[in-house]
Amino acid sequence: MSDTYKAPESLNRLQTAALGIGGIGVIACFAGMYLQPEQALRGWLLGFILWAGIGFGGLGILLLQYLTGGAWGVVIRRIAEACSRTIPILAILFVPILLGVYKLYDWANIYLANLAAPADAPVDKVIAWRGWFMDPNFWVARTVIYFVIFGALAYLLNKWSRQQDTAETPEKAAEFLGIATRVSGPGIIVFVMTVTFASVDWTMTLEPHWFSTIWGFLFVAGWALSCFSFSVAMMAYLSTRAPMDEVLGKRHFHDIGKLMLALVMVWAYFNFSQYLIIWSGNLTEETPFYLVRSKGTWGAIGLFLIFFHFAFPFLILLMQDFKRKAKWLAALAVFIIFMRLVDMYYIIGPSPMVGEANLHLLEVPFRLSVWDVVSPIAIGGIWLWWFIRELKRRPIVPFNDPFFENAIKHGKGH
Amino acid sequence: MAEFDSSTELVAAAERIRDAGYTKTDAFSPFPIHELDKALGIKRSILPYLVFGGGILGLLSGLGLQYFTHVIDYPIIVGGRPYFSLPSFVPPAYELTILLASFAAVLGMLFLNGLPKPYHPVFNVPRFNLAMREKFFLVIEREDPKFDYEETRSLMEDLNAQEVFEVDE
């Protein structure tokens, strides 16, 4: 049975190409980190956040589909599992950021300057007030903890899913589904908390004095959207090839299209909430974030996000016929992944460079370094190579799942 | 009106009367049968467009209402903001979008369904109550342009129906 549902051979070519592009790109990025450490590291962070979002998003979707049930969860499960098993490579890809923390984050330098300041000299009060939480060493320790939590959740869910495949009786197989479901409840709470802390540590601290309390949810929704989009593209690719052409039906795409619509809306909702609260509060601690991002080219990118990360996908996904056509949905999904990159660039790009945080700039010139383009491609190549490697290692559907037959029938239905 | 024992028989019969050219038809079953829409030749509902229209109307009236009150009719400075401050207009406009879209959905559904309908002739057939439990019914209305008593009756009897009823108005 497990041989029937092997991943198609044609993935091998994609995998080799991804490794080739990724390998060359990563070497270029390392050269960049030697030549222009700060720009290259910011580009690296951009690429990392985009692809890590798909990887961690895979874990989130895995937890979610165990909790909600449904046919879409059964057919997407192995793709989400393979995404969640990219966490080890993501940990390796994070090493340059760990090593370059002083080159990338201004607060790390401010923290050291505060420590070194004589007793009566002025210090950066915001960073000083946060105390040991802003200690770069503790930041590194927290990052390690995040990877351990994400990794442990992913490991357990993948383990039970694997045991389900080899279960001798249907009752045993159902038991593993039960365990995974029971753990997913508390698991998803731990997941959301960890995403909140991780996204604050990795991206929000780029603006050392600024804060937003909805930041974590922006990433929970954004990463889930990233992963759904990636999974749809993958499923559309698989649905024209054996064995998935027998499994996937237009109704599966319809269901996941609806979830994409919901997440596009949630993303816009959270983002607008953040904007509205800061806009109406009109406080000097909060507004610089949007003041900088609403001027010149940054402002144009902001409008571009409203129209093409929200309005355009939203209106298109309202149409039923669109969601039922795998190819169209996949094309939109790839576009959404691109918009996720633009969104992350809009967050990272205008944030202060090292030494700029205490200038409190209200206008930042547009800056797009070559590394902002190269790194997402490079990390994407490496990530995709690892993803396909993981996808091929297991049957491409959980064929022993008690709801497997039903899920196939659902997809073929009206 | 013809009575059937199973959903598959009903769908097969529906397909036959559709192919025979009847349009004023209807089918009744104890549970939803998705294939029936196609088998009876029922066109896609226009309800989604009504809902979309309701949403657009809600959005525009939400923005319009606020523009009228805050900018034209009674301009007053709140929190030092300009009279026309779009960000604060968004939440009420959004709520009105949802409200009118849901009204369009519910009322449009009722209107398109022809509900509420206090009287329908099919209930004059005593056995029709079984449509709530275990039997499946197919109806061709007299108003159908192709309706011809003899021909329609013989077609219905030819459908492998359990029984064919005449429905009194």
Choice among A25-34, A168-177, A268-277, B36-45 with the minimum mean pLDDT: B36-45
Q: Kindly calculate the radius of gyration of chain A based on its CA atoms and give it in whole angstroms.
A: 22
What was the pLDDT predicted at B137? 80
Are the beta carbons of A275 and B79 separated by less than 8 Å? no
A306 found inside a domain: yes
Q: What is the mean pLDDT of residues B99-122?
A: 88
Are the beta carbons of B91 and A276 separated by less than 8 Å? yes
> What's the gap in Å between the CA of B84 and the closest CA on chain A?
13
Are the beta carbons of B35 and A318 separated by less than 8 Å? no
> What's the gap in Å between the CA of A280 and the closest CA on chain B?
8
* 3-class secondary structure, A208: coil
- Which of A35, A44, A135 has the alpha carbon at shortest distance from A92? A44
Q: Is it the case that residue A1 has pLDDT exceeding 60?
A: no
Q: Among residues 8-37 of chain B, which lie with CB inside 8 Å of chain A?
A: 34-35, 37
Q: Is it the case that residue B165 has pLDDT exceeding 80?
A: no
What was the pLDDT predicted at B119? 83
Domain ranges, residue A260? 11-412
Domain final residue, candidates B76, B95, B113: B113
Q: Least CA distance to A319: which residue of chain B?
A: B48
A149 found inside a domain: yes
**Dihedral Cα A63, A65, A68, A72, nearest 10 deg:** 170
What was the pLDDT predicted at A86? 94
Q: Is it the case that residue A309 has pLDDT exceeding 90?
A: yes
Q: Which of A251, A273, A279 to mutate to test the interface with B (most CBs of B within 10 A)?
A: A279
> What's the gap in Å between the CA of B80 and the closest CA on chain A?
10
Q: Among residues 116-145 of chain B, which lie with CB inside 8 Å of chain A?
A: none
- B91 and B143 part of one domain: no
A260 found inside a domain: yes
User: CB-based contact (8 Å) between A279 and chain B?
Assistant: yes
What was the pLDDT predicted at B118? 83
Closest partner residue to A414 (CB to CB) among B34, B81, B90 is: B34
Q: What is the mean pLDDT of residues A2-24?
A: 85
B96 found inside a domain: yes
- B101 and B147 part of one domain: no
Segment of A148-152, A246-250, B35-39, B131-135 carrying the highest mean pLDDT: A148-152
Cβ pair A391, A7 in contact under 8 A:
yes
Separation of alpha carbons A132 and A387, rounded Å: 37
What percent of chain B is predicted at pLDDT more than 70?
99
Q: Using one digit for the tens of pLDDT, what is the confidence trace for B51-95? A: 999 999 999 999 999 999 989 999 888 888 888 888 889 999 999
Separation of alpha carbons A334 and A339, rounded Å: 9
Are the beta carbons of A276 and B80 separated by less than 8 Å? no
Q: Is it the case that residue A206 has pLDDT exceeding 70?
A: yes
User: CB-based contact (8 Å) between A277 and chain B?
Assistant: no
User: CB-based contact (8 Å) between A303 and chain B?
Assistant: no
Q: What is the mean pLDDT of residues A379-403?
A: 90
Cβ pair A262, A367 in contact under 8 A:
no
Are the beta carbons of B87 and A413 separated by less than 8 Å? no
Q: Least CA distance to A281: which residue of chain B?
A: B79
Return left, alpha or beta for A360; rule: phi > 0 is left, psi -120 to 50 is alpha, else beta. left
* 3-class secondary structure, A376: helix
Q: Using one digit for the tens of pLDDT, what is the confidence trace for A88-107? A: 999 999 999 999 999 999 99
- B75 and B99 part of one domain: yes
What phi and psi, each to the nearest 5 degrees, are found at residue A334?
A: -65, -40
B65 found inside a domain: yes
Q: Is it the case that residue A180 has pLDDT exceeding 60?
A: yes
Choice among A241-245, A263-267, A391-395, B104-108 with the minimum mean pLDDT: A241-245
In three-state form (DSSP H/G/I as H, E/B as E, the rest C), the secondary structure along B125-160 is CHHHHHHHCCCEEEEECCCCCCCCHHHHHHHHHCCC
Cβ pair A153, A389 in contact under 8 A:
no
Q: What is the mean pLDDT of residues B148-161?
A: 74
A1 found inside a domain: no
What was the pLDDT predicted at A338? 95
> What's the gap in Å between the CA of A414 and the closest CA on chain B?
6
DSSP result, A215-234: HHHHHHHHHHHHHHHHHHHH
B95 found inside a domain: yes
Q: Is it the case that residue A216 has pLDDT exceeding 90?
A: yes
- B51 and B109 part of one domain: yes
- B52 and B105 part of one domain: yes
- B51 and B40 part of one domain: no
- B16 and B64 part of one domain: no
User: How many CB atoms are closer than 10 A to CB A121?
Assistant: 9
User: CB-based contact (8 Å) between A280 and chain B?
Assistant: yes
Separation of alpha carbons A182 and A157, rounded Å: 11
> What's the gap in Å between the CA of A289 and the closest CA on chain B?
16
What was the pLDDT predicted at A61? 94
Are the beta carbons of B34 and A272 separated by less than 8 Å? no
Distances (CA, A) of B94 to A75, A175, B60, B63, B101: 34, 45, 10, 9, 11
Mean pLDDT, chain B, integer: 82
Domain ranges, residue B37? 2-44+121-164
A2 found inside a domain: no
Closest partner residue to A272 (CB to CB) among B37, B38, B90 is: B90
Are the beta carbons of B35 and A414 separated by less than 8 Å? yes
B156 found inside a domain: yes
Instruction: Tell which wins on pLDDT, B139 or A197.
Output: A197
Cβ pair A29, A377 in contact under 8 A:
no
- B125 and B144 part of one domain: yes
- B52 and B109 part of one domain: yes
- B40 and B51 part of one domain: no
Cβ pair B28, B3 in contact under 8 A:
no
What was the pLDDT predicted at A294? 92
B38 found inside a domain: yes
How many domains does one find in chain B? 2
Q: Least CA distance to B36: which residue of chain A?
A: A414
What percent of chain A is predicted at pLDDT more than 70?
99
Q: Is it the case that residue A182 has pLDDT exceeding 70?
A: yes
What was the pLDDT predicted at A293? 92
Q: Among residues 314-343 of chain A, which lie with CB inside 8 Å of chain B?
A: 318, 320
B169 found inside a domain: no
B27 found inside a domain: yes
Closest partner residue to B79 (CB to CB) among A280, A318, A413 is: A280
Are the beta carbons of B34 and A413 separated by less than 8 Å? yes
How many domains does one find in chain A? 1
Q: Among residues 79-118 of chain B, which lie with CB inside 8 Å of chain A?
A: 79-81, 87-88, 90-91
Q: Is it the case that residue A414 has pLDDT exceeding 70?
A: no
Q: What are the structure tokens assigned to A107, written together?
A: 């607060």
- B8 and B57 part of one domain: no
Q: Least CA distance to B34: which residue of chain A?
A: A414
- B56 and B77 part of one domain: yes
Q: What is the mean pLDDT of residues A223-241?
A: 92
Return left, alpha or beta for A131; rule: phi > 0 is left, psi -120 to 50 is alpha, else beta. left
